[in-house]
């Protein structure tokens, strides 16, 4: 399968970084910009959409579970959840452990997902059109492999990088 041209204008070359961390952050920024630009008309950004979709698929979750699913720190998860709650897309309740809060998608949140899903699908399809099927599949395999390797290393030596 031939790669489709996604643009007629030449794009400036990104810096070819020989650092896994810097390159991953660069890729994340470019992908987030793509998805955000497609989702903008639906009033939601890519990270918010991902959290809403997780709550739609998994049901009620606490902040710790959501942070683990996305490898996010408490502050980032908290900030995103507050925004979603302020918009009325999720609601919180006291969990079984009274120290934690459970977050649930609201009908307004389900409506927001329904409005945003076509734009998300468009971004997904446009990105996929720029790759062969093998490249698309390899991208996800690589993402999982890198994530697993970094998590394993972090679990082995979370605070002492000299070991």
Domain ranges in the chain?
20-114
The pLDDT of residue 5: 47
Which residues of the chain have a pLDDT value below 50?
1-2, 4-5, 8
The pLDDT of residue 71: 84
In CATH, what number does 20-114 get? Answer: 1.10.10.10
Find the Cα–Cα–Cα–Cα dihedral 78, 83, 87, 88, rounded to 10°.
0
Residue 90's DSSP bridge partners are 105
Dist. CA 47–CA 54, nearest whole Å: 11
- Helix residue spans in 2-132 (DSSP H): 20-39, 46-58, 63-70, 74-86, 107-129
Dist. CA 139–CA 148, nearest whole Å: 14
The residue count for the chain: 163
Residue 93's DSSP bridge partners are 102
If one counts every other C-beta atom within 10 angstroms of the C-beta of residue 89, the result is 25
If one counts every other C-beta atom within 10 angstroms of the C-beta of residue 23, the result is 14
The pLDDT of residue 1: 46
Dist. CA 70–CA 67, nearest whole Å: 5
Residue 105's DSSP bridge partners are 90
């Amino acid at each position: 399968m031939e790669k489709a041209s996604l643009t007629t204008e030449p794009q400036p070359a990104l810096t070819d970084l020989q650092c896994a961390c810097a390159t991953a952050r660069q890729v994340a920024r470019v992908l987030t910009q793509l998805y955000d630009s497609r989702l903008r008309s639906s009033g939601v950004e890519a990270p918010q959409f991902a959290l809403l979709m997780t709550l739609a698929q998994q049901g009620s979750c606490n902040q710790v579970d959501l942070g683990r699913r996305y490898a996010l720190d408490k502050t980032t998860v908290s900030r995103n959840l507050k925004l979603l709650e302020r918009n009325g897309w999720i609601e919180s309740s006291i969990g079984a452990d009274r120290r934690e809060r459970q977050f649930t998608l609201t009908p307004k949140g389900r409506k927001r997902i329904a409005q945003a899903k076509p734009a998300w699908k468009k971004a997904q399809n446009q990105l996929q059109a720029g790759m062969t099927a093998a490249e698309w599949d390899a991208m996800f395999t690589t993402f999982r492999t890198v994530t697993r390797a970094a998590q394993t290393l972090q679990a082995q030596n979370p605070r002492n990088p000299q070991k």
